[in-house]
Amino acid sequence: MLVTRLTEGPASPLVVAPFLTQSTRAQLKESDVSYLDLTGNAHIILPQPGLFIETQGASEDPNRAERPARSLRGPKAGRVVRALIELKTPPGVRELAALTKTDAGYISRILSFLDTEALITRVGRGCIESVDWPALLRRWAHEAPLDSRGQLRTFLEPRGLSALIARLTRLNASYAVTGSLAAAQIAPIAPARLATIWVRDADAVASDLGLRPADAGANVMLAEAVDENVFDGVLQRDGLCYAALTLVAVDLLTSPGRGPQEGEELIDWMKANEEAWRR
């Protein structure tokens, strides 16, 4: 990577590199730093003389060597991401491995990936100094949307969500309410129209709750979890079990309708109230 100046007057830095990731480009833009990579990604601004150039190049490094950890898709990555987001003090490799029940080699590879994508900052190539948890959460949602983390089934509760809530308080099965119904407890935008619930067995829970299978007009979505991690950190309130806020936010970002907007509202609340949910 080369950092140079565009003009001889006041500093107009320009970063030149073989390839710049999307996260790195976004950070450079935010810092008013021009950039150019050899795949054609460019954002160059000069006040004198007036000049603006912006082009789109490759979204992935064409020269990147294949490596096992190059995305946040899959249960192991999800567990690591949740730990990095939810812990106030960034953990080390061994602590992360113990917390997530994942081998240290995988942890090291995924941390290198996150470092390359500017989602974490490390001291040298060792300890994690900081985590850009809002960016990490959004990246996780992008690479591991809701339908990749569970088998989704839609149902109808003909008496409405108030009847569903009353039945949930008596449900004798593991579950975690997520999505709009959970976000409404923290950062409500409008009354929830769809209840999304993590469960182990959708058929059994649907039977216990008296739900009817429905493709059109559904107001309940049961998600059979790929990973038991969705039940970690469940919060109990007014007789209901709610998923951890990290999971609620990432689920909303790839939910239908106004879910993404509600997800961003919840992230704003989380940024302003970190003491309430990070441990």
Dist CA 230 CA 78 (whole Å): 10
The structural domains of the chain, with segments of one domain joined by +, span 2-55, 75-143, 146-277
Q: Given a cut of 50, is residue 248 above it in pLDDT?
A: yes
**In sequence order, what DSSP letters do the residues of 207-230 get, joined into one string?**
HHHT-EE-SSS--EEEEEESSGGG
Q: What does CATH list as the number for 146-277?
A: 3.30.460
Beta strands in the chain (DSSP E): 2-5, 13-17, 34-37, 42-46, 51-55, 120-122, 128-131, 150-156, 175-178, 195-199, 212-213, 220-225, 235-237, 240-242
Segment 119-175, tens digit of pLDDT: 999 986 678 999 999 999 999 999 999 999 999 999 999 999 999 999 999 999 999
pLDDT averaged over every residue in the chain: 89
pLDDT given for residue 191 in this prediction: 79
Q: Do domains 75-143 and 146-277 have the same CATH topology?
A: no
Q: Which residues pair with 149 in a beta bridge?
A: none
Pair 242, 184: CB distance under 8 Å? no
Q: What's the confidence (pLDDT) of residue 256? A: 85
CA distance 5 to 15: 9
pTM given for the model? 0.76
First to last CA, the chain: 37
Which range, of 4-8, 115-119, 138-142, 209-213, averages the lowest pLDDT? Answer: 4-8
CATH number given to 75-143:
1.10.10.10
Q: Which of 95-109, 182-196, 205-219, 254-268 has the lowest mean pLDDT?
A: 182-196
